[in-house]
A and B are shown apart, each in its own frame.
Chain A
């Protein structure tokens, strides 16, 4: 267990965390501002990845692919908000879950209808491919470093947007008291559409960025969605800061747990049993973390409301 391996795994955990943050930020805003449980957030992630793969395939440009992912996911988000979601704000959470679950099925089958059943190809651009040498003799893929950078950049921009701009003030006000800000003359339904589209665009961006190192296929969003929900519960619902800290915690726990728990068990178990027990426990680690956080702070790390 060398120091190099540990540093590399920490970087992996951070990279996973910031990508989770792109998903969780949209999810937490939508939940916090509109009180809506959006299960279809993973579908928007998939839409972004497919749009990026299609545009990259047609033009060969990764930058254009990212722009297409943002645009396509934002468009899909806007349409979905206007056509379906708008009717759900006053509905019970169970109705929201049902309707947005239906959206998952519609998005999945629609995507298959357009793109077929086989995974699409989306690759890292040449200028970001391959490993680079970091100080201390660590070799690390450049693209993953770029992902960490992109995630942190988005986090800073979001923080600036919510805390330093007029839109941000309205969003935060909407979280606290939607009747009051409607009474003050803010067009609440336009604000909701905007927040939803913004969340969708972030999910689409995550899908495109991650799609380049993973497989672009139908149903790719759902596993990430589950972790993103864990993140917003840990971070406290509606809090961007909570989503960021929660994402990093979940990313690091998941990555480091998967590597080091089996190693830990090897100290007092034989190799086969240690591998199996360690792997099983590692896949639970994130949920154990969530339980511990909730026992300690029932509204999450930065949650304000009970």
Chain B
């Protein structure tokens, strides 16, 4: 009997808890399977900011999409129709974002992307309720191309997996790189052995290598490349050099230059506090994904301070103003609700027994994206 009344009171308390939450945020992200590290970082960064805000009128519903578009769509339907969320966020992969975002925003929900930035949502497919807090997919690759020009590379061998984001990557690099291409190769998505590509690089006469191989693909490539004896300089976007991956690559990544909109040594008070509190909370260094989650949450919090989510126009204007302290320093949206931001070149270094990144310099200053002109809201 006692147990029953206890259960009842807990249920009541839980109901009361949901009743008092004014804003409901739905987070769909990847928490299981091979890509889970990214989603966990976004979630942890996001929840850290919510916790630090001390607000108890925000409820965050977190669900795992298992990196599968069909599951992401089901979860989104559930969140919008039965959970009645006001704001959605969390998706890591562009193909999942394409499956979820257009239908969510057309149903009046706000969507803030903490990672995926497919070109289709930045140009003609842009939407007034869609904000990207991370980057447009091409951005970091464009910065890599600009960096390669700056250090005088004239003949690059470029490779990426054969899927939409891979094609965006090579397009982005070629958009800014002014030299010749010694070779252009599309690998299979999820490929783990790069011996064949490395042999082609060796035979190609290139003076530099650009690659976009996110997650485990990058780990495999870098280890095999380091062991092959080909010693051409490598440049790539931050996705193969984030904090979660570097420990698994080990010494093979040392000295590699990669481009990122964030690093833990960007010098501002918000960033220093973020890095310190993230490490204290979770016992590991934050990655760029964690910084994106943290910024996304702080953007939402800043907008909620100025307008309730019920007043959609005022809330949208508050999001667009982006008056929050970003880990990247100044933060501003372009006309298509994608960031206009500085992208840095970083170098992989070893600090004690931890591999991490150090900023070398600016690759692209106040960079927007190539699709903003096609966006009409």
Residues of A within 8 A of B (CB): 2, 4-5, 8-9, 12, 15-16, 108-109, 112, 117-121, 123-124, 129-131, 139, 141, 143-144, 210, 212-220, 223-224, 255, 258-259, 262, 271-272, 275-276, 279-280, 283
Contacts and interface: CB of A to CB of B under 8 A. Distances in A.
B107 interface: no
Interface string B12-48: 0000000000000000000011101100100000000
Contact of B248 (A210, A215, A224, A276): A215
Contact of B227 (A109, A120, A141): A141
Given A5-B200, A12-B195, A109-B32, A118 B216 contact: no
Interface in B192-242: 192-193, 195-196, 199-200, 202-203, 215-217, 219-220, 223-224, 227-229
Contacts of A123: 223, 250-252
Contacts, number: 127
Contacts of B36: 112, 117, 218
Given A118-B244, A276-B162, A214 B199 contact: no
Contacts of A283: 162, 188
A16 B244 CA distance: 28
A213 B251 CA distance: 13
Given A118-B37, A220-B192, A276 B186 contact: yes
Contact of A139 (B37, B200, B223, B229): B229
A219 B227 contact: no
Given A9-B196, A12-B195, A144-B195, A108 B33 contact: yes
A218 B199 contact: no
A2 B247 CA distance: 37
A12 B219 contact: no
B33 A121 contact: no
A15 B193 CA distance: 10
Given A118-B247, A255-B195, A255-B196, A215 B228 contact: no
Nearest to B39: A117
Q: Which 6 A-B pairs have the closest CB atoms?
A: A131-B229, A215-B219, A215-B216, A119-B248, A12-B195, A219-B34
Contacts of B40: 117
8 contacts: A12-B195, A118-B244, A130-B227, A141-B195, A214-B193, A214-B223, A215-B219, A255-B196
A118 B186 contact: no
A215 B196 CA distance: 17
B180 to A, nearest CB: 12
Contact of B220 (A9, A124, A143, A213): A213
A137 to B, nearest CB: 12
B247 A214 contact: no
Contacts of A5: 199-200, 202-203
A141 B226 CA distance: 10
B192 A215 contact: yes
A219 B188 CA distance: 16
Contacts of B244: 117-119
A2 B227 contact: no
B199 A9 contact: yes
A2 B186 contact: no
A215 B252 CA distance: 12
A76 B348 CA distance: 38
A275 B196 contact: no
B222 to A, nearest CB: 9
A131 B192 CA distance: 19
B185 interface: yes
A214 B247 CA distance: 13
Nearest to A5: B203
B71 to A, nearest CB: 14
Contacts of B249: 121
B245 interface: yes
B164 interface: no
Nearest to B228: A141
Contacts of B37: 117-119
B227 A220 contact: no
A112 B37 CA distance: 10
A136 to B, nearest CB: 14
A262 B186 CA distance: 10
A112 to B, nearest CB: 7
Given A120-B248, A214-B219, A216-B248, A16 B195 contact: yes
A214 B192 contact: yes
B196 to A, nearest CB: 5
